[in-house]
């Protein structure tokens, strides 16, 4: 490995003091230690990355939401649909999973591995249960003759629930990843990964509550 940094300017000694000496390291980075603690930097980068990803996802759903509001505002052919009652049960399940992932994360922070695993699996199961519940809701709507191409309100219902469901599938993959990855060989700890997963999970939870309010009150 060649030494990469070479000062390529000729250094001449002597001479009077000219311009004021530039400040050493400064600006908004003063909190960072010399060279930066690599694992702290990596951990922070993951949190920044996740926050940004959630920002991008939020924009995606805001686009759908504004399309929903605009389309409904046009009024034409808008038929309100009765939402399947199981959605409320699904919501309760998802809210419960947010609580359990929080418990799991705190157990891990206290290195209670057994309890962490148990609560983590409870969370994963609740997540899968939510998705199954959403499929049941779809099934019920199909039986009532409400299809994707049926009316604008039903189109939006399917698009919104499917988009959210896909993101939640991503969340479940994330949960499995945290549970099964060999963290000893990773640049971040399992605790950090669990924290990241929990943030994502809570976000998906909040997003669902928002979408449910949109399709139930927004009609």
Partner 1 sequence: MVTHEEGGAHAHHPPTGFIRKYIFSTDHKVIGIQYILLALLSVFVGMTLSLFMRIHLAWPDAHIPFFKDGIITPEQYLALMTMHGTIMVFMVLTTAPQSGFGNYFMPLQIGAADMAFPVLNMLSFWVTFVSLVVMLAAFFVTAGAPISGWTAYAPLSALGEIAGPGQGTGQTLWVIGLAIFCLASLLGALNFITTTIDLRARGLSLLRMPLTCWTWFVTAILGLLAFGVLLAACILLLLDRVAGTSFFIPGGLILSDKAVNHAGGSPLLWQHLFWFFGHPEVYIAILPGMGVASHVLSTFARKPVFGYRAMVFAVCGIGFLGFMVWGHHMFMSGMSPYSALAFSLLTMSIGVPSAIKTFNWLGTLWGGKIQFTSPMLFAIGFVSLFVTGGVTGLFLAQPAVDIALHDTPFVVAHFHIIMGVAAIFGIFAATYFWFSKMFGRMMSEPLGKIHFWFTFIGVYLIFMPMHFQGLFGQPRRIPDFSNYDFLPPMMPIQKFISVAAIVTISAQLIFLINFLYSLKWGKKAEMNPWRATTLEWTVPSPPPHDNFGGHVPVVYRGPYEFSVPGMTEDFLPQHLAPEKVAKS
Q: Give me the long-range contacts of 209-215 (CB less than 8 A, separation at least 24).
A: 209/91, 209/95, 210/61, 211/61, 211/160, 211/161, 211/164, 212/87, 212/91, 214/65, 214/68, 214/160, 215/83, 215/153, 215/156, 215/157, 215/160
Question: Is the Cβ of residue 22 or residue 114 nearer to partner 1 in the bound state?
Answer: 22
Q: Are 78 and 152 in contact (CB under 8 A)?
A: yes
CB of 30 to partner 1, least distance (A): 9
Within 80-139, which residues bind partner 1 (CB under 8 A)?
Answer: none
Binding piece for partner 1, criterion CB under 8 A, among 59-67, 81-89, 126-134, 208-216: 59-67
CB 20 → partner 1: shortest distance, Å? 9
Cα of first residue to Cα of last residue in the chain, in angstroms, is 64
Q: How far is the CB of 115 from partner 1 (least distance, A)?
A: 25
Q: 25 to 54, contacts with partner 1 by CB under 8 A?
A: 25-29, 32, 34-36, 38-39, 41-42, 44-46, 48-50, 52-53
Q: Which is nearer to partner 1, 61 or 121 (CB)?
A: 61
Scanning the chain, the segments in alpha helix (DSSP H) are: 38-74, 86-109, 113-143, 152-180, 190-217
Asked if residue 216 lies in contact with residue 83, where contact means CB atoms within 8 angstroms, the answer is yes
SS3 112: coil
Q: Which is nearer to partner 1, 187 or 209 (CB)?
A: 187
Tell me if 182 contacts partner 1 by CB under 8 A: no
Q: How far is the CB of 111 from partner 1 (least distance, A)?
A: 23
Q: Name the residue among 97, 121, 130, 53 with its Cα closest to residue 201.
A: 97
Residue 200 backbone dihedrals phi, psi, to 5 degrees: -60, -45
Question: How far apart are CB 137 and partner 1 at their closest, in Å?
Answer: 19
Three-state SS at 89? helix
Instruction: Please report how close the Cβ of residue 26 comes to partner 1 at its closest, in angstroms.
Output: 6
Q: Does residue 196 belong to the site contacting partner 1 (CB under 8 A)?
A: yes
Size of the site for partner 1 (CB under 8 A): 73
Among 1, 143, 145, 217, binds partner 1 (CB under 8 A): 1
Of positions 132, 139, 142, 177, contacts partner 1 by CB under 8 A: 177
């Amino acid at each position: 490995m060649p030494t990469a940094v070479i000062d390529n300017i000729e250094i001449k000694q002597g001479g009077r003091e000219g311009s004021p000496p530039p400040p050493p390291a400064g600006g908004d980075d003063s909190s960072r230690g010399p060279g930066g603690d690599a694992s702290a930097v990596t951990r922070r980068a993951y949190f920044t990355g996740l926050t940004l990803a959630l920002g991008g996802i939020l924009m995606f759903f805001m686009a759908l939401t504004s399309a929903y509001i605009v389309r409904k505002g046009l009024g034409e052919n808008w038929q309100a649909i009765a939402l399947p009652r199981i959605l409320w049960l699904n919501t309760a399940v998802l809210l419960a999973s947010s609580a359990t992932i929080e418990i799991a994360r705190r157990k891990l922070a206290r290195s209670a591995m057994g309890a962490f695993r148990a609560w983590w699996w409870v969370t994963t199961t609740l997540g899968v249960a939510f998705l199954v519940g959403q499929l049941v809701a779809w099934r019920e709507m199909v039986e009532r003759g409400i299809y994707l191409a049926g009316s604008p309100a039903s189109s939006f219902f399917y698009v919104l629930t499917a988009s959210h469901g896909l993101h939640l599938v991503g969340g479940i993959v994330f949960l499995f990843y945290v549970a099964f990855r060999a963290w000893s060989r990773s640049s971040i700890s399992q605790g950090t990964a669990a924290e990241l997963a929990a943030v994502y999970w809570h976000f998906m939870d909040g997003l669902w509550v928002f979408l449910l309010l949109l399709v139930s009150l927004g009609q």
